[in-house]
Structure 1
Amino acid sequence: MLDLAWQTVKARTSGFIGAFVAILCGTALVAACGILMESGFRGGVPTQRYAAADVVVTGDRTVRPPGGDVLAFEHAAEQPAVPAALVGKIAAVPGVRAAVPELTFPAVVVGPDGQALADRPSLGHNWESAVLAPFTVKEGTAPNGNDEVVLDAGLAARAGVAPGGQVRIMTRSAPVTYRVTGVVESKGERQAALFFSSATATALSGHPDQVNAIGVLADGDVAGRIEAALAGDRVTVSAGADRSAAEFDDVSQSKSILAIIAGSFGGYAVLVAIFVVASTLALTVEQRRREFALLRAVGATPRQIRKLIGVETTVVSLVAGVIGSLLGIAVSLGLRTAFANIGVVPADFALSISPLPLAAALLIGVGAARLAAWSASRRPSSINPVEALGEAAVQRKDVGRVRLVIGWVLLAIGAAATTVPLFLRGQLGAAMSVMATLVLIIGLTLVGPRVVGGAVRLLAPALSRLGVSGYMASANVVKNSRRLAAAVTPLMLAIGFAVVNYYSQTTFTAAVAQETNRSVTADHVITGVAGVPAEVVDAVRQMPGVTATSLVRTQVITASKTGDSVDVNRGAANGLDATAGGTVDLGVVSGNLKDLVPGTVALSKAHASWEDKEVGDTVEFWFADGRPAQLRVVATYEHDLAFGDHVLSAADARAHTTAGMDSAVLVKSGDVTALRELTSRYPGLTVTGGVAAQDRSDERTQFLLNLVAVGVILGYVAISVSNTLVMSTAARRREFALLRLVGTGRRQVVRMMRAEAVVTVGLAAVLGSLVGALPLTLLSIGFTGVPLPAGGIWVYLGVLAGAALLGVVSIAVATRLSLRAKPIDTIGLRE
């Protein structure tokens, strides 16, 4: 059977090219997602500040709610601190030569012009931790006094100072003058380092009983022993390449985000790949009905037909899968570059490439192809040989009843799911619109022949009036509506998927901006490059007639139980002072924001209802650094798009961030000149009249990320569309030859196919637009109150133009290639 299958593949190379391309591209996409996911666990950047440390101990950033399974976890947004008492505990572990505590805090050198000398993150540390890099003194001596500092060589050069000179340094307060006692060799280009005496660093860090990390110098492998000694403490023990995640906060977050993105993106990729491969193989098998009918007529059993198709598919999918898996390496590198350009991963983040994701992608590709081959082979393998020969040249009258029932049910489910944004706001509501669209597309695919058949019967009379070519095109689309549906479906998928993904994000962003503009009533906003020192808001409040509040943008982690499973989510939150009433309008429903003091929280009305909480109840969640919280609810509010589901006291929010500063200060009334005079004492602070409730950078990054993901999937879909249209058109060579032999001119055939292409593209545009119109309309009504989604119409027109160009060009090229041979030669070719 293998020899027969191989001979068939070689003899029908053109017929298997479509399946080969679909499997190759699908495998490459899945392999790329696998590489990205593995890199989320094993990738990173070379460590710099901990280069000499054998082990690094940091706070555990993984939140795992009790009762959850192995996948029920979330990554904390901020790095939690480590109790300083653990230094002695680690030092007592056998094999440990030294346990070195490290303190890290914002520290920026201010130049002579009063501006911060920071072209990269600038951090202060205690001098003891310099041995972890190791940083060695190039000039001068170590810092001892409270007013002494050591700079790295790069920072000293930019500041133009040498040992004995003075610099002004801003940490979490106004700049203070320090004497430079030494300069150390720079270690890496990702960050600048300043070193203070132990007492000064402890005071500047603001946490006398905690440290940011503990570096371990050891003889031999002690990571396992340290983990055992700290088993009862919430810490993470990192060794080898994992030390970079402990050192660089962006690397730690990127690895977590990359794993989540790759998992979600990979799920979509697998679904689309299975869909495309199944459609392509079904078309390939359908075009060989006469061949299978002949085999059945000469005695082949249904089992042998199915086995032949399965072996042929395995041969093609193995070759395509191997090449596609290797091609996935290039795709993953391209995606990494795209993710770095939009800020999802650092520019120097290195992927981890191993045989595991490549082998998994190969297995998925072959498995999807075999499953598709089994589905496509059922009918040609079981049909009566006489019936098969009799219907080989015409399509089946209708699709199966079971298929129609499933399709109509999915359409009903998808239509119902589109109403979710009317009741559920936020990212989840926007995501449900996309999921509902996918369900609608799948349902419409199943009932496609019935829908397309009804549509072409309406179009046929008008088409037949366009001369001979129009008449032939009309007859073709009416008699072969199933073939037309196979061409319309992938174009419809591309249009609907692209339109809904883009406009759901623009509509959500517009809704957030609309609510933010309505909710922030402050006249002025003070912001800074790295944050606003907490003392600034107190200074602003000293001005007569001024109301001011700290605004601390943060995140919280929540867990909810659904049946036996636990869902863990990380969402945006804000910290405000109890005096925020004059600067913001949260749309308070119950309670009072004046009661918002440390130990309390305000919840959005929707979240409070979901958690069944009222004013006075206690709510449990986790702060941004993963520390558990049990806070009393003092108010509920409606403006959750602008402020998230949780509003904390500014002090609580600030205490659980690494920077320990405000994100902004909202000011009501006040003299802008006096405000600017105040902020001039703090380099990097600015006063604006704009609105700043939420930092929109994360949403912009998410938007661009979705565009990249959707763009890659649409690229794959576009290849499949072209593939399908070329295959279905090329399979009609004998039909074109017969038309030409009975007197039809070459130009008439070309015009006939041009008319069919217009019908194909037109139906795809209408169906794709309809499948996206319902979820987008309801999403827009639920989020912005108007039926039209936000965003320029040019994107929609561009999608339609791209789909039209792809469809028309694919059919036109395949038609002209099919007409190159002489009709008398083509009519004698076997099918």
Structure 2
Amino acid sequence: MLTLAWQTVKARTSGFIGAFVAILCGTALVAACGILMESGFRGGVPTQRYAAADVVVTGDRTVRPPGGDVLAFEHAAEQPAIPAALATRIAAVPGVKGVVPERTFPAVVVGPDGQAVVDKPSFGHNWESAVLAPFTLTQGRAPAADDEVVLDSGLAARAGTQVGGEVKVMTRSAPVSYRVSGVAEGRGDRQASVFFSSAKASELAGRPDQVSAIGVLTTGDVTDRIEDMLADDHVTVSTGADRSAAEFDDVSQTKAILALIAGSFGGYAVLVAIFVVASTLALTVEQRRREFALLRAVGATPRQIRTMIGLETLVVSLAAGVLGSLLSIAVSHGLRSAFAAIGVVPHDFALSISPIPLLAALLIGLAAARVAAWSAARRPSSIKPVEALGEAAIQRRDLGRVRLTIGWVLLAIGAAATTLPLFLRGQLGAAMSVMAALVLIIGLTLVGPRIVGGAVRLIVPMFSGSVSGYLAAANVTKNSRRLAAAVTPLMLAIGFAVVNFYSQTTFTAAVHQETVKSITADHVITGPAGVPAEVAEAARTLPGVTAATSLVRTQVITASKTGDSVDVNRGPANGLDARAGNTVDLGITSGRLEDLTAGTVAVSDALGKKVGDTAEFWFADGQPARLRVVATYEHDLAFGDHVLSAADARAHTTAGTDSAVLVEAGTTAALQNLISRYPGLTVTERITAQDQGDQRTQFLLNLVAVGVILGYVAISVSNTLVMSTAARRREFALLRLVGTGRRQVVRMMRVEALITVGLAAALGTTVAALPLTLLAIGFTGTPLPTGPIWVYLGVLAGAALLGVVSIAVSTRLSLRAKPVDTIGIRE
């Protein structure tokens, strides 16, 4: 049977090209997602500040709620500190020859022009930790007094200073002058480093009993011993390439983000790949129905038919899968470059490539193809031998009851799911719109011939005025399943693109709309490296200022139990002072914002809490919180589900500064005079003040993901249309032999292409319109989604161009041969 399958594939190469391309592209996309996911665990950048440390111990950023499974976890946004006392315990481990605690805190140098040197992240450290890189003194000596610092060579050059000179350094207060006692040379240039004496670094870090990390120098492999000893201390023990995640916050965030992106993106890719491969193989098998009918008539058993189709698919999918897995390496690098361009990953983040994701994608591709082959083989293998030739004469038009039932059920579920944004706020509500659209698309795919058939009967009369129109109308009426096979991928492309784009633009517009309404301050003070907390207090003392509050943008991690599973999510939160006055409007529904002090929290109405209840979550650094609810509010799009006291929010961030200061009343001149003492700070008038950077990045990330999937879908669309049209060569030849002109056939196919594109546009728009309309109503109060109309028109134009060109090119190629020669070829 394998020999027969191989011979069939060789003899019908053109018939299997479509399936080959679909599996190749699908495998490449899934494998690329696997490479990104693996890189989230093993990729990174070269270690710099910890290059000389064999082991680095840091706080564990993984939050795992009790009762959750292995997948119930979230990555903390900030690096937690660890007890300094751990250094003594680690030093006692056999094989450890040195333990170096490190304190890290923001430290920005003021340049000779009076402006902050912030071309790259800049941090202060205790001089003892310089050995972990190592940093080597090239000039001067180590800092001995509290008023001395050592600068890295690059920072010293940019600050225009040298040994013996004076330099101003701003940590969490106004700049202070220090004497440069030395200049050091280290590894890499991703961060700028300022080294203080041990006592001064402890004072500036603000946590004398805690350190940022502990570097360990060893005489052998003692990692397992250290991990065993610290198993109950909620720390992470890093070696090798993982040390860079402990050193660079953006690398740590990237590793977590890549795993999430690859999982989500990969899930979509697998779903679309299965869908595309299944539809392509179904079309391939459908075009060979006469061949299978003849085999049944001459004695082939159903099992032999299924086995032959399965083996043919195995041969094609194995070849395509191997090539697709190799192609995925280039695809993954392309995705990494795209993610780097929009700021999701650092430009120097290196991927980790191993055979594991390539093999996994190959197996997924083979499994998807095998399932698709089994589904496609059910019909040709189940007909009775005496019915076989009659079955082959015309296309079967009725659909199975099971298929129709599943299709209608999915349409009902999808329609119901579109209402979720009316009740769910935030990114979850926007995501539900996309999921609802996918369910609707799958449902339409299953019942497509029924719907397409009904639509065709309504529109074909308008095309029957000419010979070509009459032929096209007759074709699409009698072959609605073939038309549905062409309409479906175009509908998928249109619906998927429109819903993904406009769901994000609508959500972003809703956030902006509510933020403008909620931030009512007259003036906003911001800075590139944050705003020292003392600025808000100083602003309150200015003449004419009636209120001023710190605004600390942060994140919290929450857990909820659904049945036996635990869902963990990380979401935005904000810190405010109780004396916020009229600088903000949270839409308070109960309680008072004036009661917001350390140890308390205000929560959104969506959480269902009441004043006096206890809110449990985790701070941005992964530390657990049990805070008393003092107020509830409704403006959750602007402020997230949790508003903390500014002191609590600030205490659980690495920077320890405010994101902005909101000021009510006062004069711009007075505020300008205040911030003149803090280089880099600016005052603006009545702006939204809420950082949209994360939302913009998420939007661009979705565009990249959708763009890649749509590229795959576009290949599938062209593939399907070319296969469907090329399979009609004998039909075209027969038409020409009975007197139809070549131009009439071309015009007939042009009309069919217009019908195909028109139906796809109508169904794709309908699929997108329902969830987007309800999303817009729920989020912005209007039925129209927000976003430029040209994107929708561009999607329609692109789909129309793709459909018309694919059909036109394959039609003209099919008409190149003489009709008398074509009519005699096998199907």
Which TM-score bucket, shorter chain as reference? Answer: over 0.9
**SS of structure 2 residue aligned to 1:392:** helix
- Within-5 A mapping of 1:100-119: 100-119=100-119
1:617 counterpart = 2:613: yes
Please name the residue that 2:562 is paired with.
Answer: 562
Q: Distance in 2 between matches of 1:313 and 1:306?
A: 11
- On the 8 A contact 2:112/2:160 being kept in 1, the answer is no
Deviations 1:757-802 (A, max 9, x none): 0000000000000111010000000100000000010000000000
Please name the residue that 1:485 is paired with.
Answer: 484
Deviations 1:701-738 (A, max 9, x none): 00000000011111000000000000000000000000
Counterpart residue type for residue 290 of structure 1: R
Counterpart residue type for residue 665 of structure 1: V
Please name the residue that 1:471 is paired with.
Answer: 470
- Of the structure 1 ranges 772-781 and 686-695, higher mean CA displacement relative to structure 2 is found in 686-695
1:669 counterpart = 2:643: no
Q: Distance in 2 between matches of 1:375 and 1:232?
A: 52
1:577 counterpart = 2:577: yes
Q: Percent identity?
A: 82
**SS of structure 2 residue aligned to 1:525:** strand
Shift of 1:693: 4.5
Deviations 1:503-536 (A, max 9, x none): 0000000000110111111000000001000011
Q: Distance in 2 between matches of 1:804 and 1:193?
A: 56
Q: Distance in 1 between matches of 2:764 and 2:103?
A: 56
Please name the residue that 1:778 is paired with.
Answer: 774
1:629 counterpart = 2:632: no
Please name the residue that 2:593 is paired with.
Answer: 593
Please name the residue that 1:289 is paired with.
Answer: 289
Q: Distance in 2 between matches of 1:232 and 1:391?
A: 70
**SS of structure 1 residue aligned to 2:499:** helix
- On the 8 A contact 1:642/1:693 being kept in 2, the answer is no
RMSD after superposition: 0.8
Q: Distance in 2 between matches of 1:408 and 1:32?
A: 34
Please name the residue that 1:641 is paired with.
Answer: 637
**SS of structure 2 residue aligned to 1:773:** helix
Shift of 1:122: 1.0
Q: Distance in 1 between matches of 2:372 and 2:515?
A: 49
Please name the residue that 2:280 is paired with.
Answer: 280
Q: Distance in 1 between matches of 2:101 and 2:366?
A: 52
Please name the residue that 1:680 is paired with.
Answer: 676
Shift of 1:694: 2.7
- Within-5 A mapping of 1:150-189: 150-189=150-189
Structure 2 residue runs without a partner (length 5+): none
Counterpart residue type for residue 522 of structure 2: D
Q: Distance in 2 between matches of 1:365 and 1:557?
A: 36
Please name the residue that 1:545 is paired with.
Answer: 544
**SS of structure 2 residue aligned to 1:578:** coil
Shift of 1:304: 0.6
- Of the structure 1 ranges 808-817 and 383-392, higher mean CA displacement relative to structure 2 is found in 383-392
- Within-5 A mapping of 1:683-722: 683-722=679-718
Deviations 1:108-156 (A, max 9, x none): 1111211012311111100000000011111110000010000111111
Q: Distance in 1 between matches of 2:598 and 2:126?
A: 30
Q: Distance in 1 between matches of 2:818 and 2:445?
A: 37
Q: Distance in 1 between matches of 2:750 and 2:461?
A: 17
**SS of structure 1 residue aligned to 2:314:** helix
- On the 8 A contact 2:524/2:689 being kept in 1, the answer is no
Q: Distance in 1 between matches of 2:161 and 2:637?
A: 48
Q: Distance in 2 between matches of 1:406 and 1:232?
A: 50
Please name the residue that 1:378 is paired with.
Answer: 378
Please name the residue that 1:436 is paired with.
Answer: 436
- On the 8 A contact 1:289/1:388 being kept in 2, the answer is no
Deviations 1:539-592 (A, max 9, x none): 101112311000000000011111111111100000000011320010000000
- On the 8 A contact 1:154/1:186 being kept in 2, the answer is no
- On the 8 A contact 2:134/2:186 being kept in 1, the answer is no
Please name the residue that 2:259 is paired with.
Answer: 259
1:650 counterpart = 2:646: yes
Please name the residue that 1:23 is paired with.
Answer: 23
**SS of structure 1 residue aligned to 2:659:** strand
- Of the structure 1 ranges 699-708 and 687-696, higher mean CA displacement relative to structure 2 is found in 687-696
Q: Distance in 2 between matches of 1:118 and 1:405?
A: 62
Q: Distance in 2 between matches of 1:692 and 1:518?
A: 8
Q: Distance in 2 between matches of 1:460 and 1:502?
A: 33
Counterpart residue type for residue 241 of structure 1: A
Please name the residue that 2:744 is paired with.
Answer: 748
- Of the structure 1 ranges 393-402 and 720-729, higher mean CA displacement relative to structure 2 is found in 393-402
Deviations 1:49-96 (A, max 9, x none): 000000000001000000111001000000000111111111111111
Deviations 1:347-405 (A, max 9, x none): 00000000000000000001100110011001101212332211323211211111111
Deviations 1:258-279 (A, max 9, x none): 0011001101100100000000
Please name the residue that 1:829 is paired with.
Answer: 825
Q: Distance in 2 between matches of 1:446 and 1:579?
A: 59
**SS of structure 1 residue aligned to 2:497:** helix
- On the 8 A contact 2:601/2:627 being kept in 1, the answer is yes
Q: Distance in 2 between matches of 1:298 and 1:482?
A: 28
- On the 8 A contact 2:544/2:667 being kept in 1, the answer is no
**SS of structure 1 residue aligned to 2:67:** coil
Q: Distance in 2 between matches of 1:298 and 1:585?
A: 80
Shift of 1:690: 3.8
- On the 8 A contact 2:46/2:241 being kept in 1, the answer is yes
Counterpart residue type for residue 496 of structure 1: G
Please name the residue that 2:719 is paired with.
Answer: 723
- On the 8 A contact 2:397/2:480 being kept in 1, the answer is no
**SS of structure 2 residue aligned to 1:18:** helix
Which of 758, 769, 779 aligns to 2:765? It is 769
Please name the residue that 1:345 is paired with.
Answer: 345
- On the 8 A contact 2:133/2:186 being kept in 1, the answer is no
Counterpart residue type for residue 295 of structure 2: L
Counterpart residue type for residue 650 of structure 2: R
- On the 8 A contact 2:168/2:175 being kept in 1, the answer is yes
Structure 1 residue runs without a partner (length 5+): none
- On the 8 A contact 1:19/1:277 being kept in 2, the answer is yes
Counterpart residue type for residue 495 of structure 2: G
Counterpart residue type for residue 680 of structure 1: S
- On the 8 A contact 1:552/1:576 being kept in 2, the answer is yes
Please name the residue that 1:402 is paired with.
Answer: 402
Counterpart residue type for residue 614 of structure 2: T
Q: Distance in 2 between matches of 1:392 and 1:470?
A: 26
